[in-house]
């Protein structure tokens, strides 16, 4: 979903706006040669990563209310489970507008409480299947309580200094990678790829895998 498509319309309207191309998963294909400037972009300057020595960072930029992110989530979640051991995966919720902030806080509060693995997928389901907007702190708090989570502890986590710091870091990463749409991927602090460049998010993952291999082998 391209950045320009995020108007002040309702989330249901936003879900109908066109964006990144999505095809069914088919990652098991032969080697392909991907071209910088066509299939992916090389950043003008390297973005510092949080990865330890010997590790390579892969970032997924997303928005819970983006239909393309919802479509990509099952494939990406499966990829993460089978990711190489030297790859550190980080999910970063974007904030193209101020009203994206509640869902950013939702993500980082769940992370802080150790509930991300349990509830991350359920947030997508709530928004896209159950048609719950979850776009305000109040609606999110009501939903969280229904998931059996202590709403007071969640609210405290959402307002914590740690979450506030991660919100700032998320915006910084979004700007450093010059994110124009979601879902999209940042590789090793050097490369950016999305479904528009690669042709689909399925192929974007293939591009990312190729770039990870090049970084690992010292060729990128």
- The DSSP line for 54-117 is T-EEEEEEE-TT-HHHHHHHHHHHHHHHT--TTEEEEEEE--SSGGGHHHHHHHHHHHHTT-HH
Note whether residue 27 is domain-resident.
Answer: no
Distances (CA, A) of 50 to 25, 57, 86, 158: 29, 7, 13, 22
Residue 17 belongs to some domain of the structure: no
Cα angle: 188, vertex 192, 196; to 5 degrees: 150
Domain that holds residue 166: 36-216
Q: Cα–Cα distances in Å, from 67 out to 13, 73, 165, 193?
A: 11, 10, 27, 18
Which candidate, 21, 116, 134, places its Cα nearest to that of 71? Answer: 21
Say how far apart CA 39 and CA 115 lie, in whole Å.
Answer: 35
Structural domain includes residue 11: no
Q: Is residue 19 part of a domain?
A: no
Q: Would you place residue 152 in the very low, low, confident or very high pLDDT band (cuts 50, 70, 90)?
A: very high
- Residue 207 belongs to some domain of the structure: yes
Orientation angle between helical segments 151-158 and 101-112, nearest 10 degrees:
110
- The better pLDDT of the pair 133, 21 is held by 133
| pLDDT tens digits, one per residue of 31-44 | 458 999 999 999 99
If one counts the domains in the chain, the total is 1
5 pLDDT exceeds 70? Answer: no
Tell me whether residue 76 is in a domain: yes
Report yes or no on 160 lying in a domain.
Answer: yes
Q: What is the CATH number of the domain that holds 121?
A: 3.40.30.10
pLDDT tens figures, 101-120: 999 999 999 999 999 999 99
């Amino acid at each position: 979903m391209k950045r320009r498509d995020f108007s002040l319309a309702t989330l249901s309207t936003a879900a109908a706006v066109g964006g990144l191309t999505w095809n069914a998963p088919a990652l098991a294909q032969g080697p392909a040669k991907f071209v910088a400037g066509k299939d992916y972009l090389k950043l003008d300057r390297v973005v510092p990563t949080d990865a330890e020595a010997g590790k390579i960072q892969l970032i997924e930029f997303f928005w819970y209310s983006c239909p393309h992110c919802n479509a990509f989530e099952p494939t990406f979640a499966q990829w993460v489970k089978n990711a190489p051991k030297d790859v550190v995966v980080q999910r970063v919720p974007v904030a193209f507008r101020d009203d994206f902030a509640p869902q950013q806080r939702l993500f980082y509060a769940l992370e802080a409480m150790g509930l991300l693995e349990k509830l991350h997928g359920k947030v997508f389901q709530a928004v896209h299947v159950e048609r719950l907007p979850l776009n305000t702190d109040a609606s999110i708090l009501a939903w969280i309580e229904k998931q059996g989570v202590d709403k007071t502890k969640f609210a405290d986590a959402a307002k914590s200094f740690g979450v506030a710091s991660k919100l700032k870091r998320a915006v910084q990463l979004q700007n450093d990678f010059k994110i124009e749409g979601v879902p999209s991927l940042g590789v090793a602090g050097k490369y950016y790829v999305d479904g528009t460049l690669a042709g689909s998010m399925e192929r974007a993952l293939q591009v990312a895998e190729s770039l990870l291999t090049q970084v690992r082998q010292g060729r990128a």
